[in-house]
Amino acid sequence: MNDTAKLMMHRLIARRLSHDPSLIERAKVSLGRSADRFGNYTFVHDWNELLELPVSEIRHRLTCRDEKMTRLRLSSPFVLAEGVDFEDEALRRRIWRAAKRIAVRSTEDDRTRGLRMTA
């Protein structure tokens, strides 16, 4: 569920990027602060590369479901960037409830597929 919630948050960020590309510069500042503490970690290098891409590609990557982006969303500089606010408890609850619904639905779909395959 945590991965799903992070994906949902980054979908909101990607949508905002289409209206406010300056968010990328604020994410770079946020990443710089992380680099001061975690400079040798691969996520710092990976995010530096990603943040140099065109806005449309960054938006695409933020919402990509591949393993690399699932990992990178855990250390996203966008979540801590100035102007991005996920502190609102009501918003966080809505995201968490939606992620839980998706996870439950996915589990039910997996069970249904398993029954069809064995029948």
5: Cβ contacts below 8 Å, ≥ 6 apart: 95, 96, 98, 99
Q: Count CB-CB contacts under 10 A for residue 67.
A: 8
pLDDT in tens, the chain (119 residues): 578 888 888 988 999 999 999 999 999 999 999 999 998 899 999 999 999 999 999 999 999 999 999 999 999 998 876 766 666 676 667 767 776 776 777 656 656 665 555 55
Q: Answer yes or no: are the C-beta atoms of 27 and 51 closer than 8 Å.
A: yes
- Given a contact cutoff of 8 angstroms between Cβ atoms, the answer to whether 99 and 1 are in contact is yes
23 residue type, one letter? L
Q: Is the dihedral of CA 63, 69, 72, 74 positive or negative?
A: positive
